[in-house]
Amino acid sequence: MVMRVNNWKKNMLKYRVLTAALLIPLVIIFVFFVPYVYFIAAAILLLLGTAWEWCGLIGLSSKLYRMLYVLILGLLTLSAYYLLPLSVIFYLSLLFWCLGILFLASFPRGQSFWNKHLWFKLIIGAVMLIPFIDALLFIKLQQNSATWFMLILLMVWAADTGAYFSGKRWGKNKLIPQVSPNKTREGLYGGIVLSMLVILFFAVLTKNPIFLNAYFIWGLILCVIFAVAGDLIESAVKRFANVKDSGNILPGHGGLLDRLDSLIAALPIFALTLWLFS
């Protein structure tokens, strides 16, 4: 039995490494080299994949209804991007994730309402994913877009990595144990500190005067906090659904939502910060 567990762990580690080895070059290619038209196509494909997984998490089993929801979400995303002021979309996303933090604080209250009302879960998916994709498209059009993408990606990675290692070393006080028993306040602080070091690195590297703006820096710190919230909220939804992963499209990593939960929350706030101060 122990040998089986060890073999399973080794296989999972192998899959994680192989998947990461494929994904990292793809991300770099799309961030630095892909023209905007193809970037839009990739963003829409990403929306379709994440929306499909969301349907699975909320219990929408009919493939016909899933396809209908995914199609509607794609149309709404492009319509919102081209017809609405992007600042409105990003401010609404900020409000949504603030409410999400309140939801985490009261977890698991509301589970009965969540389980009974599919329409509510469909709306949550839309409010969560539409600003994320629109933020991707917005940032791609900015001057030095590759720099901004690398900054937010490394910030989110640093928040996760810093939280893991500092939580493992110093973690004593649980953050929200009813949602994620392993996450600690010390881990959160460690994630913020490592993210701040990433910000400092980019400030020195780029010499962009925007990094001298205190409000811009506070906006970036807010992105880190919402990245943690996004991870926790997806964990809460998976607890409601009684599943470990949102999907299995990424061997060793689970689903798209499992890898993107933090970025889905942080990216619209990052786009709003750029819109306000860039």
Half-sphere exposure of 233 (CA within 13 A, CB side): 27
Domain membership of residue 224 as a residue range: 2-277
Q: Helices in 107-142 by DSSP H: which ranges?
A: 111-116, 118-140
Percent of the chain with pLDDT over 90: 59
Cα 252 to the chain's mean position, in Å?
18
Q: How many domains does the chain have?
A: 1
Contact 90, 271 (CB under 8 A): yes
Please give the pLDDT value at position 5.
Answer: 46
Q: For residue 8, what pLDDT is reported?
A: 44
For residues 247 and 180, is the Cβ–Cβ distance under 8 A?
A: no
What pLDDT digit, counting tens, does each position of 106-155 carry?
Answer: 887 777 888 888 999 999 999 999 999 999 999 999 999 999 999 999 99
pLDDT reported for residue 12: 54
Q: Is the pLDDT of residue 45 over 60?
A: yes
Q: In the prediction, which pLDDT does 2 show?
A: 47
Among residues 88, 79, 76, which one has the least CA distance to residue 125?
A: 76
**Residue whose pair of structure tokens reads 């919102």 in the numeric block:** 80
* CA 123 and chain centroid, separation: 17
Residues 54-67 have a mean pLDDT of: 92
Beta bridge partners of 268: none
Chain centroid to Cα 153, Å, comes to 10
Report the distance separating Cα 87 and Cα 25, nearest Å: 31
Put simply, whether the predicted model's pTM sits higher than 0.85 gets the answer: yes
**Dihedral over alpha carbons 37, 40, 46, 52 (to 10 degrees):** -110
159-175 confidence digits (pLDDT tens): 989 998 898 889 888 88
pLDDT per residue as tens digits for the range 244-271: 888 777 666 678 888 889 999 999 999 9
Question: Picking from 13-27, 52-66, 168-182, 231-245, which range would have the lowest pLDDT averaged per residue?
Answer: 13-27
Question: Average pLDDT over the chain, rounded to whole?
Answer: 88
Tokens of 254: 């689970």
